[in-house]
Structure 1
Amino acid sequence: MTRIAVSAVFAAALALAGCIPDGPVGNASVPEPRKPVELQRYLGTWYEIARYEASFQRGCEAVTASYSLRPDGEIAVVNSCRQGSPTGPERSAEAVASPVAGSNGAKLKVSFFRPFYGDYWVLDRAPDYSWSIVGEPSGRYLWILSRTPRLSEARVQALVERAKQLGYDTSLLRRTKW
């Protein structure tokens, strides 16, 4: 095989590996999102408060996800984190997302490696879009997000309780350091 072909096969293998769930199932019966999501209101920067640990985020602190509308109507996604500590070196990854038809904006298909897509479900959100709880159908991934990096302990506990009400094993949550 030529170097280009070997590189293409390697890239495809990496992309497929990124699509395979790598954590324990924390919710065997993920509920369908119930609230519509106005994508214009969802755009902007979100700060990770807690998550289920995944290999692609291992060692990440001060995690952000920024969403913006692209000229073609898709959503640009930039996920960033600080490696090892809130002041560690920054890592980032770019993706593109598209709303799933019929989901009222609550489900997106996200791709870091086209043509491979993963699910992103906004399972719950605040009426004012100040927080959201995000998961996907396998129950292996969960994120609690906020528009600010720090929340009161009472607010964090309320969001953890909401994730529990959605069927998640909250003992698997890892708090993000800021």
Structure 2
Amino acid sequence: MASKEMEVVRNLDINRYMGRWYEIASFPSTFQPKNGVNTRATYTLKEDGTVNVLNETWTDGKRGYIEGTAYKADPKSDEAKLKVKFYVPPFLPIIPVVGDYWVLFIDDDYQYALIGQPSRKYLWILCRQTHMDEKIYNQLLQKAKDEGYDVSKLHKTPQSDPPPEGEETPRDTKGIWWFKSILGK
């Protein structure tokens, strides 16, 4: 049976989408640290209209991070289908690796979002706060189910209050898991 095309947000206001998002839940990736906590993404609009992506997570008190670039897959389309490009490995920008980033749902206030991929192997629930109301979480789960995702695979990401500051914490320079996880490799 051919899967129906996923519904994607139209006319995403990229300016409002910028800023920090906390990962509330995601499909675990074999490459992502099982004990990664406080995972978050920070998006910054660049002058050329592309978006700088900073993904961070903490494992055993060390900050792992990777930066990349997001851009519209089809500039003429009003659909929120983005491509995210990272360089492997992060400290030697040689091999660009590109993954899909589809915004499946966002609320009117741009406070929470559901992100998927056409393969349906990856799913993220993001929120502006470190914690999400259970009712909203369940609505996003239902939306993901309706789009053909197996939501039993969702794993909640531990988030601390207040979240860690960032730059000052010790670094984990490996960071390789990010792109592998985002690309579904």
Q: TM-score range by the shorter chain?
A: 0.7 to 0.9
* Residue among 98, 104, 112 paired with 2:78: 104
Aligned to 2:174: none
**Counterpart residue identity of residue 131, structure 2:** R
Aligned to 2:156: 175
Structure 1 unpaired stretches of 5+? 1-27
- Mapped partners of 2:86, 2:69: distance in 1: 7
Post-superposition Cα deviations, 1:106-131, rounded to whole Å, max 9, x if no partner, equal 01111112533111100111111111
- Mapped partners of 2:137, 2:117: distance in 1: 21
Q: Give, in angstroms, the shift of residue 45 of structure 1.
A: 0.5
Say if 2:62 is the partner of 1:82: no
Aligned to 1:94: 67
**TM-score (normalizing by structure 2):** 0.73
Sort the Cα spacing of 1:55 and 1:106 in 2 relative to 1 into closer, same or farther, 3 A.
Answer: same
Name the SS of the counterpart of 2:77 in structure 1.
coil
Sort the Cα spacing of 1:176 and 1:82 in 2 relative to 1 into closer, same or farther, 3 A.
Answer: same
Would you say the 8 A contact 2:120–2:148 is kept in 1?
Answer: no
- Mapped partners of 2:43, 2:143: distance in 1: 24
Q: Give, in angstroms, the shift of residue 155 of structure 1.
A: 2.3
Structure 2 unpaired stretches of 5+? 88-94, 160-185
- In our comparison, the structure showing a higher alpha carbon Rg is 1
Q: Give, in angstroms, the shift of residue 30 of structure 1.
A: 5.3
| Percent identity over paired residues | 38
**How many equivalent residue pairs?**
148
**Counterpart residue identity of residue 77, structure 2:** S
Aligned to 2:19: 44
Q: Give, in angstroms, the shift of residue 175 of structure 1.
A: 0.6
Runs ≥4 in structure 1, deviation > 3 angstroms?
none
